[in-house]
Amino acid sequence: MQFIKKMKRRKLIVTILCTGLLTGGLHAQTAKARIKIDVERQTDRIDRMIYGNFVEHLGRCIYGGLYEPGSPLSDGDGFRKDVLEAAKALNTSIVRWPGGNFVSGYHWEDGVGVREQRPVRIDLAWGFRENNSFGTDEFVAWCRKAGTEPYFCVNLGTGTMDESRNWVEYCNVEKGTYYSDLRVKNGYPLPHKVTYWGLGNEVDGPWQMGHKSAEDYGKMALETAKLMKWIDKDIKLVVSGSSNYGADWTRWNRTVLDYLKNHADYIALHHYAGNRNNKFDEFMASTRFAERAVKVTEGLINEVRAKTNRNIYIAFDEYNVWYRARGEEGNEEVYNLEDALVVATYLNIFVRNAHIVKMANMAQLVNVIAPIFSTPEGSWRQTIFYPLELFANHCHGTALQTFTDCETYRLRAEDIPYLDVSSAYNEETREVIINVVNRSENNAIATDIISQTGVFGGKAKVFEVNGQNIKDENSAGKQTVQTKTKEVTAKGEKFTYSFPAHSYTMIKAEIRL
């Protein structure tokens, strides 16, 4: 009888354990998660340009954001000093300008020369009036002060091939030609030397001025690229990839890559995440399509690489959370903690795919769906500022292939890991950098972090972005969500760390080989 009772108890225990495994739920008494780091399993160097931003002539991004002449917070050139300092704190590597949808109706010659003589235009993209007081020379001057690289996008919507190549001449030719001498006349004797140029913006989208088919865009972009590189052979060109994911976006990317395979250096991808259904678990998985788009586009790039010896990479030059303030008050989205976690998962994607993603630009830098928010009295940092600041200042070196073993949750037909992880090895500092987003709303996840080559040196620095509630927001008077730091012991081949619920954590640990 006792034997039968014991067997029944064992059967019950087995049933409970199996039920936990099948449901994929996160329980208090489950085995620890594991993250395995191996500094010999390297992917590629992390390009610092994945920590870039984007500014567009939309709402208060340029006027009242970057540029506000007459403000006591601005310098002699009219640039907001507090915004410049915040951009420097983000270690902003490259900034894309002037759009965005705006660029498809923008004619750069409107924005050079005497400010008082520049024309006021109707911006058909966003419905604003553009006075053109901030143009080519002002943007380059701002970039130099911010210590960042300018990235221009040309108008292939309503613009012409000549207009694009003339812009390169204005910026990059030293002197002795019509447009280079015009720059000198405008007070800039030295060339701007703008290296990065985008061939239009979202041209596959029906919402775009000058929307084209893949073939029509491919033909125009090819001829434009030829002229631009004949002016300056050293520039780098970004072809406009698809942003219309409801259409045949893979065909678009394949077609334009085939046309531009001998001229393009990058193909642009865009993606925005949202949480309209207010479901945390779905929102935390919303960037997984962006990673699939990277993988698919990498395959298309490999197709054209078979026809040419040139390398083409991905420029993910628009990404962010954006769903609340579309078309309202200049798209001034106010971000919360869960938005910051999604931004961290985007950055994990770029690091994991460092071999193919060589540029990324958060849209946008200030006020408009932005990490920085300015007012006439000052500026403050939104929740999404902090993960970008951590990655841009600390996650350098070589991306690693990381093994992660943790529990998952079921979302439609997919199992979503609770831990989203990327890692890197910095040879200069002999540190590993481990980035972890805990997608669980309610549970901390105890995790063994294992070094498979070398041992941890003794101490690790931990940076954590978190808050009491997933809906916590920042404001001018209160930084509810920000980065907190501490040290933990990390010694030998393994240490254990418990990643708090709804958090982004960066761990920097010395590795002794």
**Alpha carbons 27 and 29: distance in angstroms, whole number:** 6
Task: Report H helices in 243-287.
Answer: 249-260, 280-284
Concatenating the DSSP letter of every residue in 465-506 gives EE-SSTT-B--SS---SEEEEEEEEEEETEEEEEEPTTEEEE
User: Tokens 């708090």 label which residue?
Assistant: 500
Active site residue 202: yes
Active site residue 338: no
User: Tokens 């995440």 label which residue?
Assistant: 273
The beta strands (E) that lie in 350-428 are given as 357-363, 372-375, 378-381, 398-400, 403-405, 408-411, 414-417, 419-426
Partners of 408 in beta bridges: 417
Partners of 45 in beta bridges: 398
State the catalytic residue, choosing from 56, 130, 149, 202. Answer: 202
Q: Which two tokens stand for residue 157?
A: 């919507």
Contacts of 484 (CB under 8 A, 6+ apart): 463, 464, 465, 466
State the catalytic residue, choosing from 318, 333, 464, 510. Answer: 318
The separation between CA 299 and the C-alpha centre of its own chain, rounded to angstroms, equals: 21
User: Tell me, what DSSP letter sits at residue 273?
Assistant: E
Neighbours of 476 (CB within 10 A): 12
Contacts of 324 (CB under 8 A, 6+ apart): 333, 334
Q: Which two tokens stand for residue 296?
A: 């698919």
**Alpha carbons 165 and 225: distance in angstroms, whole number:** 8
Neighbours of 2 (CB within 10 A): 6
Q: Which amino acid is at 319?
A: Y
**Alpha carbons 442 and 456: distance in angstroms, whole number:** 30
Q: Which two tokens stand for residue 17?
A: 């354990």
User: Tokens 């090895």 label which residue?
Assistant: 425
**Alpha carbons 55 and 363: distance in angstroms, whole number:** 7
Report which of 93, 123, 96 is spatially closest to residue 110, judged by C-alpha positions: 123
16: left (phi over 0), alpha (psi -120 to 50) or beta: alpha
For residue 205, say if its preceding peptide bond is cis, omega within 30 degrees of 0: no
Angle (deg, nearest 10), helices 136-146 and 81-89: 50
* Residues involved in catalysis: 202, 318
